[in-house]
């Protein structure tokens, strides 16, 4: 009977959580004006729900390719398996203080106090042995901080994350400039897992390759040149940089299909507008001379590719498929 009662209580709790989730989904749908580009901050303020929860529900409602406009990218928005390097001095002291407040001297006593399985807090033993840096997965960090009631923002406020300076301002000039490079000659391949993504950049101009690598470093990441397999240079970045650019608005997948937008800051900041045009003409532009009506003309243009498959009449598309692979 005891097991049945516990199972029933768990089911009732699950049912309540689902009802709350459905109510929240209804509220999100009511407040979202443009499903193709959703602004996270106003929703967060109106509904009083953490950005992380909103983002997961928005992707559940509108799909993972929905563009979510946000100002900051926090460490807890990283994938569960992403590893953070934490200042051991801060983390050890914070955990000891939190355990002392709860009257626990070790993880076993802590589990009893919090009424959770010991396996949920055993990682603390491992963390206390690591110094001067603690390697911790995002999922586990969030779980331990939530158990202790420690605000997730505290890691950012204390500058305790050593591998990246969180939160990331997605509207900062360095991120906007990197976004321009990624929009023009970069690509975000759909990852096999959230932690295995990478931003790739291909160009034949070594000066632009150097510019891209420097921009990635300014944004806090790293970029490396792959061994040459064809004319030009192929560069890849760390996975955090790729996820930051995705959070800034560049979707995963082929750009000819996703048709990604400009970064919103480009249209508001004259300096960033000028930089975007300068880099875009270098990466995607061309100039040529033409002679018409007894006059010499200088033509300056830009080239963009877009998938028009869905706009081609079915009968013409069937005819074109007979020449698949040909130009």
Please say whether the beta carbons of 176 and 263 come within 8 A: yes
- Taking each helix axis from N to C terminus, what angle separates 173-185 and 270-284, rounded to the nearest 10 degrees? 20
CATH number at residue 240: 3.10.28.10
Instruction: Work out the percent of the chain whose per-residue pLDDT is above 70.
Output: 94
- Taking each helix axis from N to C terminus, what angle separates 88-102 and 107-114, rounded to the nearest 10 degrees? 50
**DSSP letters along 50-117, please?**
-HHHHHHHHHHHH-TT-EEE-SEE-GGGS-TT-EEEEEHHHHHHHHHHHHHHHT-SSHHHHHHHHTS-
pLDDT one-digit tens code per residue, 151-191: 999 999 999 999 999 999 999 999 999 999 999 999 998 88
Mean pLDDT estimate for the chain: 87
CATH number at residue 95: 1.10.260
Residues 247 and 186 in one domain: yes
Residues 237 and 180 in one domain: yes
Residues 235 and 183 in one domain: yes
Q: What is the rounded average pLDDT of the residues 104-108?
A: 87
Among 269, 284, 299, give the residue marking a domain's end. 284
Residues 139 and 225 in one domain: no
Please, what is the end-to-end C-alpha distance for the chain in angstroms?
72
Q: How far apart are CA 21 and CA 15, in angstroms?
A: 10
Confidence of residue 126 (pLDDT cuts 50, 70, 90): very high
Residues 152 and 182 in one domain: no
Q: What pLDDT score does 3 carry?
A: 62
pLDDT at 1 > cutoff 60:
no
Residue 107 is part of which domain span?
83-157
Residues 143 and 180 in one domain: no
Q: How far apart are CA 246 and CA 255, in angstroms?
A: 12
190 versus 199: the higher-pLDDT residue is 199
């Amino acid at each position: 009977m005891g097991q049945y009662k516990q199972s029933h209580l768990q089911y009732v709790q699950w049912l309540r959580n689902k009802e709350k989730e459905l109510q929240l989904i209804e509220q999100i749908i009511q407040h979202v004006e443009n499903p193709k580009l959703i602004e996270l901050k106003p929703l967060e303020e109106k509904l009083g729900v953490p950005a992380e929860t909103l983002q997961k529900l928005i992707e559940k409602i509108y799909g993972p390719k929905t563009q979510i406009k946000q100002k900051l990218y926090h460490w807890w928005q990283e994938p569960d398996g992403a590893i953070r390097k934490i200042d051991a001095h801060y983390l050890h002291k914070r955990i000891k203080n939190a355990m002392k407040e709860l009257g626990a001297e070790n993880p076993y006593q802590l589990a009893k106090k919090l009424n959770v399985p010991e396996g949920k807090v055993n990682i603390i033993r491992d963390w206390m042995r690591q110094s001067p840096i603690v390697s911790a997965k995002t999922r586990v960090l969030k779980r331990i901080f939530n158990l202790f009631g420690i605000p997730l923002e505290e890691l950012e406020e204390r500058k305790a994350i050593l591998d990246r300076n969180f939160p990331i301002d997605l509207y900062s000039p360095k991120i906007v400039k990197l976004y321009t490079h990624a929009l023009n000659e970069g690509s975000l391949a759909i990852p096999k897992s959230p932690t295995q993504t990478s931003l790739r950049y291909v160009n034949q101009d070594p000066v632009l390759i150097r510019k891209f690598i420097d921009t990635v470093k300014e944004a806090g990441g790293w970029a490396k040149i792959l061994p040459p397999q064809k004319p030009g240079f192929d560069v890849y970045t760390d996975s955090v940089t790729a996820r930051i650019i995705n959070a800034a608005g560049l979707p995963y997948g082929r750009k000819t299909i996703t048709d990604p937008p400009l970064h919103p800051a480009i249209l508001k900041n004259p300096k960033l507008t000028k930089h975007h045009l300068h880099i875009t003409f270098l990466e995607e532009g061309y100039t040529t001379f033409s002679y018409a009506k007894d006059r010499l003309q200088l033509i300056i243009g830009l080239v963009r590719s877009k998938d028009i498959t869905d706009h081609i009449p079915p009968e013409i598309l069937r005819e074109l498929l007979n020449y698949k692979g040909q130009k």
